[in-house]
Amino acid sequence: MSKQAPKVELKVAVSSADLRSLGADVKCGTTRRIYFLDTADLALQQHGLIVRLRSTKGRPSDAVVKLRPVLPKALPGWLRNDNGFAVEIDALPDNYACSGALKRTLGRHEVERTVAARKPLARLLSGRQRRLLTAYANVPLDSLLTLGPVEVRRCRFELAASDHPLVAEEWTFPDGSSIAELSTRCPSAKAAQVAAETSSALRAHGIVPDDEPQVTKTEATLRYFRPLFANP
């Protein structure tokens, strides 16, 4: 699997208080506004597809279509050979999955300009990204709803007991509620070692994952916004 998915992103859900206790000052980091696209009944998610558009302050925007889980060998050649397509393993403390992401870089403020003009964000997807959606879900683009935005702050920091820098993210929803996550990337071959070292460093700060199944940022966001579009 390490040859097919050379990188692993290790993730763990934490609280905003945990970020503060670790000295991760997200307020001084990067600011993003994130949108997801899906139908009212989350048809894309049911087919393992995630469509995400990000507007990052001071940087180009981007659009990503993610497929999870995937079996890299089973992917069509046109997708595997696309320079914008990357495969990696997403790993939480209680589960992991191989995922593939097809990314398109957009112009600065392009996402926000499209939103302000009340135009569908799906128009920012590339032809290859639309082909990917059609191949795995065949959901009409005009049926996609905009779920968002979520205000995101993120920063990189290091723990004294770990050789691997961490990324801290805090996602804030329109009602003021928030979720937080820590993550780090490493080669697949070193995933077990990095996971053990990171876990040990976090435990030294009193941060231990809950026994309950962890919820990803995407899942939490879709759960938050879906009721706004549910039929009465």
For 151-162, what is the mean pLDDT?
90
**Phi, psi (5° rounding) for residue 106?**
-115, 175
Q: What is the mean pLDDT of the segment spanning 30-50?
A: 96
Indicate the pTM of the whole model.
0.92
Q: Determine the pLDDT at residue 153.
A: 97
**Better-predicted residue by pLDDT, 155 or 211:** 155
- Which residues lie closer than 8 Å to 188 by C-beta, 6 or more apart? 1, 2, 5, 6, 7, 8, 89
pLDDT band at 6 (very low <50, low <70, confident <90, very high): confident
d(CA 113, CA 116): 5
Residue 55: strand pairing partners: 33
The dihedral formed by the CA atoms of 66, 92, 171 and 198, expressed in degrees to the nearest 10? -130
Q: Tell me: pLDDT of 5 over 90.
A: no
pLDDT tens for each residue of 195-230: 999 999 899 889 987 767 788 999 999 999 988 776
What is the pLDDT, as a whole number, of residue 232?
A: 44
- What is the C-alpha to C-alpha distance for residues 26 and 196, in angstroms, rounded to an integer? 25
Residue pLDDT, tens place only, 72-104 = 889 999 998 898 999 999 998 888 899 999 999
> Residue 38's beta-bridge partner residues?
145
Name which residue leads in pLDDT, 229 or 51. 51
